[in-house]
Amino acid sequence: NLYLDCNGIIHRCAHPETLSKFEPTEEELILNVISTIDRLVRLTRPN
1 domain-assigned: no
37 domain-assigned: yes
Per-residue model confidence (pLDDT) at position 27: 96
The rounded distance, in Å, linking the Cα atoms of 43 and 15 is 23
* Between 19 and 31, residue with greater pLDDT: 31
Per-residue model confidence (pLDDT) at position 31: 97
Per-residue model confidence (pLDDT) at position 19: 65
Instruction: Please check the confidence at residue 8 and state whether its pLDDT lies above 70.
Output: yes
Query: How many domains are contained in the chain?
Result: 1
Phi and psi at residue 28, to the nearest 5°: -65, -40
pLDDT tens by residue, 11-26: 999 987 776 778 889 9
Instruction: Please check the confidence at residue 32 and state whether its pLDDT lies above 90.
Output: yes
Q: Which domain holds residue 10?
A: 6-44
